[in-house]
């Protein structure tokens, strides 16, 4: 039953609530396990602080901060870098992905370049970006942008290629222009894949954040984590990791809601 599309809205709602409940219980059990491990002294606080220590450190970081900036200032710097790169990727990767999906020539030219750099870890081409762009904000945003661009562009291309040819031919037969076909047939048909690419892309963006903030940063969540590591401040490191993960998870939830609103037919026959 789990692998089949569900048409009944009430049943889909029941499954969604059931999944949410399972997720909440799983999260609670993980926190309880974390608390138990630290409370029993199985792991030293230097290596794994307790949930209470991390919560206390979270409040301290908001008020007094760390490395000459509060937690909000670190988060604001990281959010600017990640979402600036994300916005640039949306503005460039989606049109190029549509173009690659429509024109074989564009696919032949751009596909090898994207597929070549896509599997490369950001740290591999970070030195080249520093040589080209220096150590300012531009280099950080470009590094994250490159991580986001590839999955968004390739997902868009795949979505365009998956649009049923019969729909395109039917629209052309009825007299639709090329622009109308792209706007009313191709883009709506590719939208589920585009949104999936955006979700994957923003995940890669947050993954690349720490690498980007290795470049002469003075603020940012990744910078805070790296700086805390030098002082063996494990509670700060863990707090930073949880904040990064929480923000990324929150945005992913937002993208899922957006997906349900824009493409409610996804997963249904």
Write the DSSP symbol of residue 78.
H
DSSP 37-91: HHHTTSS-TTTS--HHHHHHHHHHHHHT-BTTB-HHHHHHHHHHHHHHHHHHHHH
For 111-157, what is each residue's pLDDT tens digit?
999 999 999 988 899 999 999 999 889 999 999 999 999 999 999 99
Write the DSSP symbol of residue 69.
B
Calpha distance 54→52 (Å, rounded): 5
CB of 267 closer than 8 Å to CB of 5: yes
Calpha distance 190→184 (Å, rounded): 11
What is the signed CA dihedral for 69, 75, 81, 87, rounded to 10 degrees?
Answer: -150
Calpha distance 45→47 (Å, rounded): 5
Q: pTM score, two decimals?
A: 0.86
Partners of 66 in the beta sheet?
Answer: 69
Write the DSSP symbol of residue 218.
S
**Residues of the chain with pLDDT > 70: what percent?**
93
Span 2-11, average pLDDT: 56
For 17-37, what is each residue's pLDDT tens digit?
888 889 899 999 999 999 999
Calpha distance 21→23 (Å, rounded): 5
């Amino acid at each position: 039953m789990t692998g089949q599309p569900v048409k009944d809205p009430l049943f889909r709602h029941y499954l969604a609530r059931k999944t949410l409940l399972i997720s909440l219980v799983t999260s609670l059990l993980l926190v309880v396990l974390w608390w138990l491990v630290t409370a029993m002294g199985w792991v030293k606080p230097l290596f794994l602080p307790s949930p209470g220590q991390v919560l206390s450190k979270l409040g301290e970081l908001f008020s007094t901060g760390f490395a000459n900036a509060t937690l909000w200032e670190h988060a604001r710097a990281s959010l600017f870098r990640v979402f600036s790169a994300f916005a640039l990727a949306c503005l460039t990767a989606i049109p190029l992905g549509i173009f690659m999906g429509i024109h074989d020539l564009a696919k032949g030219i751009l596909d090898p370049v994207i597929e070549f750099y896509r599997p490369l870890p950001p740290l591999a081409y970070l030195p080249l970006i520093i040589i080209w762009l220096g150590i300012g904000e531009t280099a950080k945003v470009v590094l994250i942008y490159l991580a986001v661009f590839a999955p968004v562009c390739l997902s868009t291309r795949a979505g365009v290629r998956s649009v049923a040819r019969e729909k395109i031919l039917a629209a052309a037969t009825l007299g639709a222009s090329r622009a109308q076909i792209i706007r009313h047939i191709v883009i709506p048909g590719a939208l589920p894949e585009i949104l999936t690419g955006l979700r994957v892309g923003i995940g890669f963006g947050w993954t690349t954040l720490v690498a980007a903030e290795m470049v002469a940063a003075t603020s940012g969540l990744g910078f805070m984590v790296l700086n805390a590591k030098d002082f063996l401040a494990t509670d700060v490191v863990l707090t930073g990791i949880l904040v990064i993960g929480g923000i990324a998870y929150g945005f992913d939830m937002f993208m899922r809601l957006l997906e349900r609103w824009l493409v409610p037919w996804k997963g249904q026959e």
